[in-house]
Amino acid sequence: MEGKKILLGVTGGIAAFKSISVASLLTKLGANVRVAMTESAMKLVSPKNFHEVTKNPVTHDLWKETDLHPHIDLANFAELVLIAPATANFIAKMAHGIADDLLSTTMLALKSNTPVLIAPAMNTRMLEHPATRKNLEILKSRGVKIIEPDSGLLACGDIGRGRLPEPQDLVEFVQNFLRKKTLEGKQILITAGGTRERLDSVRFLGNPSSGKMGFALAEESAARGADVVLLTAPTFLSEPRNEKIKTIRVESALEMHDAAIRIFPNVDAVIMTAAVADFRPSKVFEGKIKKSKDNPDEKIKIELVRNPDILLELGTRKTPNQVLIGFAAEMNDLETYARDKIQRKNLDFIVANDVSKSDAGFAVDTNIATIFFRDDSKIDLPLMEKSELAGKILDQLQKIFEGGNSI
Ligand code: PMT
């Protein structure tokens, strides 16, 4: 982001006020941000706000006597354009090449390789109108990146799709977009969450996995250009809104097993973060198991049978060009158990986390991990956000892709 020349186009949506924070965050990250506003945007927010946070002049007038070619100046300046919010009207103008103010004229004058990101924000009916949908399709086909709007309470009081995402999310989108696409062309299967093994129609055996580690890996892989299949057991996390991530939801170990085996031949790498139950009840009771009314000492027996070990099975099917990465959730003797799993499951490396620690493992945002490799080497990683750990794991995967697989 440092020194990146970003043109922020602000059009006349009620969410224009959020763009002040976008300009501020981008500037704080080191970008050189210039803002161009439409006349409608000027009715909602003041250019002074943008001037204040970017320290750059803000432009809106195509006909100012002192500026000879403001649209060409801006187009030459821009290394990336972000239009946020993008109104239905502005999207229509972009789609049809209408140039009747400074910002729309600048869009036509951009160099052909300047990336353009737009964040549509409007009432749901306007967003879903065939005209708007068609216009967005036209822009997509020209390579414009559409930042999907959020759902929720809209300024007009309706509830639905059309909210401008929060400034932090918009900035993250830009950051990810600018990230080097080191995993471009790679297909990665990532498993997440904790499987549920049904006891009866309403109860199950489960574990505390939240899916956070797997989802962080999916987001980071996609940001690096990979196409991701996120195979997840039940989680409260919402589906990643990323066209590079295809989310498949399953419930039990058997369902995850079947999906993983089906997808495996088509991927370059698998990262198994899912906490898969090793056992399941041998019988699923129909309906709800009822307790007896008059025997407080009643006992029932539940017989458990083994689930397939998915990773072990993938290890036997792995081709020399595929990379297999496991996780190990341990409470003691981390290294011994992790190294045993690398060998038994035929892994390229394993990420071991001590789940007895309060800020590591299940359901927290942070983790403390050691990566063990086949050649006895290891990398001890300190406490960090799961998103950062995802990056460290993918750095190692990248090295294997670059150096050729060792097994
Ligand atoms: O989801 P979060 O709340 O973010 O928590 C993250 C996590 C703690 C779940 C994650 O960091 C983690 O440690 N995942 C692995 C959990 C686990 O099942 O570990 P294990 O040591 O029992 O299994 C070893 C490996 O074999 C794992 O990659 C596991 O996915 C795989 N496995 C296990 C059993 C089984 N039947 N099939 C498998 O494929």
Give yes or no for residue 158 having a pLDDT over 90: no
**For residue 211, which atom of ligand 1 is closest to its CA?**
1
Look over the chain and give the mean of its residue pLDDT values, rounded to a whole number.
95
272 Cα: distance to centroid of ligand 1 (angstroms): 7
C-beta 88 within 6 A of ligand 1:
no
* 15 found inside a domain: yes
At 63 the pLDDT is 80
**106/31 same-domain check:** yes
* CATH code: domain of residue 322: 3.40.50.10300
State pLDDT tens for residues 47-69: 999 999 999 999 988 887 677 78
- State what percent of residues in the chain have pLDDT above 70: 98
**101/205 same-domain check:** no
Using alpha carbons only, how large is the chain's radius of gyration in Å?
26
C-beta 213 within 6 A of ligand 1:
yes
**309/394 same-domain check:** yes
C-beta 318 within 6 A of ligand 1:
no
**97/215 same-domain check:** no
* 407 found inside a domain: no
DSSP per-residue letters across 101-114: SHHHHHHHHS-TT-
Average pLDDT over residues 308-318: 98
**For residue 208, which atom of ligand 1 is closest to its CA?**
3
**170/206 same-domain check:** no
Ligand 1 site-directed mutation target among 191, 207, 209, most atoms within 8 Å of CB: 209
**137/195 same-domain check:** no
> Which of 351, 357, 381, 345 shows the shortest CA–CA distance to 273?
351
The pTM for the full model equals 0.81
**43/153 same-domain check:** yes
**For residue 386, which atom of ligand 1 is closest to its CA?**
4
Confidence category of residue 406, pLDDT binned at 50, 70, 90: very low
Q: How far apart are CA 353 and CA 286, in angstroms?
A: 37
State the residue range of the domain holding 310: 187-287+299-401
Q: How far apart are CA 351 and CA 308, in angstroms?
A: 21
C-beta 254 within 6 A of ligand 1:
no
Q: How many beta carbons lie within 10 A of that of residue 340, not counting itself?
A: 13
At 404 the pLDDT is 59
The catalytic site residues sit at 156
At 1 the pLDDT is 87
C-beta 353 within 6 A of ligand 1:
yes
**268/372 same-domain check:** yes
Q: How far apart are CA 5 and CA 72, in angstroms?
A: 15
* 393 found inside a domain: yes
C-beta 272 within 6 A of ligand 1:
yes
* 396 found inside a domain: yes
DSSP per-residue letters across 317-357: H--TT-EEEEEEEESS-HHHHHHHHHHHTT-SEEEEEETTS
**165/246 same-domain check:** no
**282/219 same-domain check:** yes
Residue whose CA lies nearest to ligand 1 atom number 33: 276
**239/130 same-domain check:** no
Give yes or no for residue 213 having a pLDDT over 50: yes
Residue whose CA lies nearest to ligand 1 atom number 36: 309
> Which of 165, 133, 160, 135 shows the shortest CA–CA distance to 148?
165
Q: Torsion over CA of 363, 367, 368 and 369, rounded to 10 degrees? A: 90
Average pLDDT over residues 161-170: 94
